[in-house]
């Protein structure tokens, strides 16, 4: 889709305007957009060439855009207009992309449902009564509905990959450092990744080629050369080795998910891949979620201490500076965010750091060591991205102490603990709702990850799949 749009230079403006109008027309149903962009100014400044020339895209509303409101779906930032562009915005515009909208998300990217958004949740294009997943739900919805061929998200625990599964699209979290995070509102700095959505592996290759590269303003960004991912794409599975994550598979309960996944593994075997079940330590897998909560919320508490109403954002006045900050933060954050800040503050208390925060970091290290050991022998770790399709918006049935919840629904944080590249692709359907498969590869081996993704896309036929919004 991206390649065709780029080559159709005569209709570049038409493509952008159609995407913009479609996003507006679907807004009442999807609630995927926070702010629409000025497309006229961008069209007037289109470069003569570029990998994304004339391609309409959307940005998660935590990407800094100069002169365009950036709220992170939080009341405390509802009036915030940045004075600078994020690094990826510069790269996207240099490549000719046109931003049509800033998209809905969980507040401050904290959540996996998109239910905590200040303006209300995004609705799944396949079934408007269901969630998109979060925190990058708005971007996922616009791609799944066929509004844009690519949209930016961010992934701290699975915030690109889970919405991709629920919306039947490709969700990519590259290696930590592969894409600069300069100008991206942080959640947890050691776990945050810029990610993105597409509807095909080829579009995923083109998008990463544009987005990746060193940025001196983000000292964690990599100096490694960026490959031509599309040129190197190879779906031949002979000699490839896949580790099926046994801890996830044995805790699945949905027969449709089990059948679709097993059938896909059989198809990969038929194409020449070696597919083995690989078990991690079960107790370690159950510790991923609590360790993630501690690390992420401790880092978030520190990162967002600057949201005090003094320098920017919505201000609630007080008689003293302390009262002003208290009033602003009390009024500015939703209940879920306050809860996470309480957890983070507790973990950062000096008397708790060794007992809680440091212990969580040790769990993280053990998880990464286990992944490294597995990937010495295998090229990819695979499992369903979720047991069930997207939950209904009012669904609160999860047993949060079950292995199904602790492992199956939250294991993808392994990719954030390690920083390894991880991607979700459509693998089938449960009724009318899509199901996704997740894969994780060795660091900076996105080429290998795309190869697997392309093979799966060829097996399933789910290329450029779009939901018909009803």
Rounded Cα–Cα distance for residues 333 and 75 (Å)? 6
For residues 309 and 214, what is the distance between their CA atoms, to the nearest angstrom?
33
Under DSSP, the state recorded for 404 is: I
B/e letters for 175-202, b = 16+ CB within 10 Å, e = fewer, are bbbbbbbbbbbbbbebbbbbbbbbbbbb
Q: Which of 22, 60, 102, 286 is catalytic?
A: 60
The SS3 of residue 244 is: strand
Phi/psi of residue 193, nearest 5 degrees: -135, 140
In the sheet where 193-198 sits, what is the strand order?
Answer: 33-36, 98-103, 56-60, 150-155, 193-198, 170-173, 422-430, 433-440, 380-384, 241-245, 274-278
Alpha helices in 271-413 (DSSP H): 282-303, 321-332, 335-348, 350-352, 358-377, 403
Let me know if 470 is a catalytic residue: no
Given 64, 74, 116, 159, the catalytic residue: 159
Instruction: Kindly state the DSSP code that residue 11 receives in the 8-state scheme.
Output: G
How distant, in Å, are the alpha carbons of 75, 100, 279 from that of 263? 46, 39, 20
159 an active-site residue? yes
Catalytic residue among 64, 74, 135, 221: 135
Cβ pair 212, 179 in contact under 8 A: yes
221 flagged as catalytic:
no
Beta-strand ranges (E) seen in 1-60 are 33-36, 56-60
Catalytic residues: 60, 135, 159
């Amino acid at each position: 889709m991206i390649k065709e749009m780029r080559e159709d230079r005569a209709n570049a403006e038409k493509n952008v305007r159609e995407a913009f109008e479609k996003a507006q027309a679907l807004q009442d149903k999807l609630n995927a957009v926070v702010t629409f962009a000025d497309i006229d100014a961008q069209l007037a400044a289109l470069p003569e060439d570029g990998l994304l020339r004339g391609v309409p895209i959307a940005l998660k509303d935590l990407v800094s855009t100069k002169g365009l409101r950036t709220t992170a779906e939080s009341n405390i930032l509802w009036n915030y207009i940045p004075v600078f562009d994020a690094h990826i915005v510069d790269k996207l515009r240099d490549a000719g992309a046109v931003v049509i909208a800033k998209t809905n998300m969980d507040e401050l990217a904290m959540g996996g449902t998109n239910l905590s958004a200040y303006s209300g949740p995004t609705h799944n294009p396949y079934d408007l009564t269901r969630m998109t997943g979060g925190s990058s739900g708005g971007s996922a919805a616009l791609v799944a509905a066929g509004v844009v061929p690519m949209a930016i998200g961010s992934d701290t625990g699975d915030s690109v990959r889970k919405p991709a599964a629920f919306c039947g699209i490709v969700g990519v979290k590259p290696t930590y450092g592969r894409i600069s995070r300069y100008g991206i509102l942080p959640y947890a700095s050691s776990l945050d990744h810029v990610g993105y959505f597409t509807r095909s592996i080829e579009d995923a290759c083109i998008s990463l080629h544009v987005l990746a590269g060193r940025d001196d303003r983000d000292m964690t960004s990599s100096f490694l050369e960026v490959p031509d991912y599309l040129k190197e794409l190879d779906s031949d599975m002979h000699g490839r080795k896949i580790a099926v994550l046994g801890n996830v598979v044995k805790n699945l309960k949905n027969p449709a998910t089990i059948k679709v996944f097993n059938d896909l593994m059989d198809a990969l075997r038929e194409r020449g891949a070696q597919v083995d079940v690989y078990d991690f330590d079960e107790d370690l897998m159950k510790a991923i979620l609590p360790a993630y909560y501690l690390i992420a919320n401790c880092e978030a508490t520190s990162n967002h201490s600057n949201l005090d109403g003094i320098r920017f954002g919505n201000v609630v006045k007080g008689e003293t500076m302390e009262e002003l900050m208290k009033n602003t933060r009390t009024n500015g954050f939703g209940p879920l965010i306050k809860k996470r800040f309480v957890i983070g503050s507790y973990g950062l208390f000096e008397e708790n750091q060794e007992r809680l925060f440091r212990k969580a970091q040790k769990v993280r290290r053990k998880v990464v060591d286990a992944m490294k050991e597995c990937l010495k022998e295998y090229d990819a770790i695979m499992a369903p991205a979720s047991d069930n399709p997207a939950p209904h918006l009012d669904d609160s049935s999860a047993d949060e102490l079950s292995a199904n919840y602790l492992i199956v629904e939250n294991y993808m944080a392994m990719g954030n603990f390690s920083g390894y590249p991880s991607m979700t692709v459509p693998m089938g359907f449960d009724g009318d709702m899509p199901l996704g498969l997740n894969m994780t590869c060795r660091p900076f081996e996105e080429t290998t990850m795309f190869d697997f993704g392309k093979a799966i896309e060829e097996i399933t036929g789910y290329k450029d799949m779009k939901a018909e919004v009803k």
